[in-house]
Amino acid sequence: MKIHIVPSEYEGRRLCDYLRDLGYSQTMLTRLKNEGGLSVNGRFQRNIDPIRAGDKVFIEFPDKESVLTPNGSLKIPVLYETEDLIIYDKPDDMLVHPAGKGFDDALGNDFSFRFPGVPFRPLGRLDRHTTGLCLIAKNKLTAVRLSRNIEKEYYAVTEGVFKEKNGVVDAPLLRVPGSTIMRKVDPAGKPSLSEYRVIRQYPSHALVLLKLQTGRTHQIRVHMAYLGHPLAGDTLYGGHTDLITRQALHCGRMICRHGENIFDVRSPLPEDMDRLLKNIEA
């Protein structure tokens, strides 16, 4: 639940005007009205009714998400936290959501240990073997507000020498028939857009910075392979494991706009990707 105290400049103005200025969309206001999640000083009030300075506006979106089994033994690093969100630095070989009933070794299980009874709401997910920043909203309102206000930067070590040091991959992605996880570029797929820039070109590999305009499953991995530069270690899409045993992909930077606040969180390359770069530089 969120509680807002009405400031003096909104004395006599409509409740909906105040909430819109706080960032609530018309869709959110309609849902609050229909689902009974909006009150002023503990009493029902219409969106068009006037408010007074000092009024307490209570906001609560009903939760339908399930709470996961808590596990306090995972010890996942946290790089940033506020009352509304938390940003983890996810390690390799860990799912964001548990694999199913009976599993409790995912990032979500750590979240449920830290915040008992709070539904798990990750804003974007990382593959099991992709490392780096993963943001979890602690309440529904934050999840709605942040859904379109997050910028991420990914770092990948790819194979081969790039002819173009930067560019945009605009190639739709479609699930491979018969596979539950593998994707391919196909005109019948969903629109998918990736921006890339080669940070450093090595004789046989490159360190690449990527930004996504869409968030499709395996998007970076498939788009880089489509260019002829699969990620090192990514055997699913043509990479090799002689230098690293997982796809060399890391979410290394996240910029979020939350209300009037902008925060910039960074995670350094993990040890295995750092070692990979040192080996190909030697």
pLDDT in tens, the chain (282 residues): 678 899 999 999 999 888 888 877 777 777 777 666 788 887 877 888 899 999 998 887 655 566 789 999 999 999 999 999 999 999 999 999 987 777 899 999 999 999 998 999 999 889 999 999 999 999 888 888 887 789 999 999 999 999 999 999 999 999 999 888 899 999 999 999 999 999 999 999 999 999 999 989 999 999 999 999 999 999 999 999 999 999 999 999 999 987 778 899 999 999 999 999 999 986
Cβ atoms < 10 Å from Cβ of 99: 11
Provide the 3-class DSSP secondary structure of residue 125.
coil
- Of 249, 2, 33, residue with least CA distance to 130: 249
pLDDT computed for residue 78 by the predictor: 98
pTM to 2 decimal places = 0.79
pLDDT computed for residue 139 by the predictor: 87
Provide the 3-class DSSP secondary structure of residue 174.
strand
Residue 199 · residue 182 · CB < 8 Å: no
Amino acid in position 84: D
Structural tokens at position 109: 């299980």
Q: Write down the architecture of domain 2-59 according to CATH.
A: Roll (3.10)
pLDDT computed for residue 77 by the predictor: 97
Q: Whole-angstrom Cα distance, residue 96 to residue 90?
A: 8
Residue 203 · residue 282 · CB < 8 Å: no
Cα-to-chain-centroid distance, residue 56: 32
pLDDT computed for residue 126 by the predictor: 94
Specify the CATH number of the domain 78-146.
3.30.70.580
* β-strands 131-137, 85-90 pairing: antiparallel
pLDDT computed for residue 43 by the predictor: 81
Supply the residues annotated as catalytic: 127
- Of 75, 66, 70, residue with least CA distance to 103: 70
CATH 3.30.2350.10 fits 150-281, yes or no: yes
For the chain, the three-class secondary structure string (H helix, E strand, C coil) is CEEEECCHHHCCCEHHHHHHHCCCCHHHHHHHHHHCCEEECCECCCCCCECCCCCEEEECCCCCCCCCCCCCCCCCCEEEECCCEEEEEECCCCCCCCCCCCCCCCHHHHHHHHCCCCCCEECCCCCCCCEEEEEEECCHHHHHHHCCCEEEEEEEEEECCCCCCEEEEECCEEECCCCCCCEEECCCCECCEEEEEEEEECCCEEEEEEEECCCCCCHHHHHHHHCCCCECCCHHHCCCCCCCCCCCEEEEEEEEEECCEEEEEECCCCHHHHHHHHHHHC
Residue 268 · residue 250 · CB < 8 Å: no
Main-chain dihedrals φ then ψ at residue 183, nearest 5 degrees? -120, 160
Domain parsing of the chain, residue ranges: 2-59, 78-146, 150-281
pLDDT computed for residue 90 by the predictor: 98
DSSP 31: H
